[in-house]
C-alpha cells in the first residue's frame, strides 16, 4: 500500500496551522507542522514531504528566505513549496514565485478550494 502524500505546514499562527492540519489530515495526508524556519529545517532532517505550505511572515527567518534556501539545496529542491499568506499586495505573488515558490494561496484560507489546490500541486 502506498504511503499518503506528506505535507509540512510552516506557519507561526496556531489557528491557521490547526485549520490546515485538520483539512489535510481529514483527506488522508500525513501532516507535520513547524512554527518557524528553525523548526522546519529540523523537521526536514527526518521527514521528507512532497509539499511545504509556507507562511511568508515568519518570526526570524521569513518564508521567502527559507524557500530560497530550500530551493538552493539539492536535498530539498524537489519539494513543492506553496506560499500561504495574508499579504496579498500587488507584487507579493511575483516575489514568492521569484523566491522559488511553486504556488501561492492567500489567507483567509478557503476551506473548499484549498484541498483541491493542494491535490493539484501534488500531481
For the domain that residue 55 is a member of, what is the CATH number? Answer: 3.40.50.2300
Residue 1 lies in a domain: no
Residue 93 lies in a domain: yes
Which residues of the chain carry a pLDDT beneath 70?
1
* Number of domains composing the chain: 1
Task: Provide the sign of the torsion angle of the four alpha carbons 88, 15, 55, 20, taken in this order.
Answer: negative
Closest CA to 77 of 110, 59, 42, 50: 50
pLDDT at 86: 85
Distance (Å, rounded) from C-alpha 46 to C-alpha 112? 31
519539494: which residue's cell?
Answer: 79
Residue 116 lies in a domain: yes
CB-based contact 27:115 (threshold 8 Å) = yes
pLDDT at 90: 82
pLDDT at 98: 96
pLDDT at 100: 97
Residue 59 lies in a domain: yes
pLDDT at 83: 96
Residue 26 lies in a domain: yes
pLDDT at 41: 97
pLDDT at 75: 95
pLDDT at 29: 96
Residue 111 lies in a domain: yes
Strands 51-55 and 80-85, bridge-based pairing: parallel
Provide the 10 A C-beta neighbour count for residue 112: 8
Domain region containing 13:
6-122
Closest CA to 104 of 113, 112, 96: 96
pLDDT at 91: 86
Amino acid at each position: 500500500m502506498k504511503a499518503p502524500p506528506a505535507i509540512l505546514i510552516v506557519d507561526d499562527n496556531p489557528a491557521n496551522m490547526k485549520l490546515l492540519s485538520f483539512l489535510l489530515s481529514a483527506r488522508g495526508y500525513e501532516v507535520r507542522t513547524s512554527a518557524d524556519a528553525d523548526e522546519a529545517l529540523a523537521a526536514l532532517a527526518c521527514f521528507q514531504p512532497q509539499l511545504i505550505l509556507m507562511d511568508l511572515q515568519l518570526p526570524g527567518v521569513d518564508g521567502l528566505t527559507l524557500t530560497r534556501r530550500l530551493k538552493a539545496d539539492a536535498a530539498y529542491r524537489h519539494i513543492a513549496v506553496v506560499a500561504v499568506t495574508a499579504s496579498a499586495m500587488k507584487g507579493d505573488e511575483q516575489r514568492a514565485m521569484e523566491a522559488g515558490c511553486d504556488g501561492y494561496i492567500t489567507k483567509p484560507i478557503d476551506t473548499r478550494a484549498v484541498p483541491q489546490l493542494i491535490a493539484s500541486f501534488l500531481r
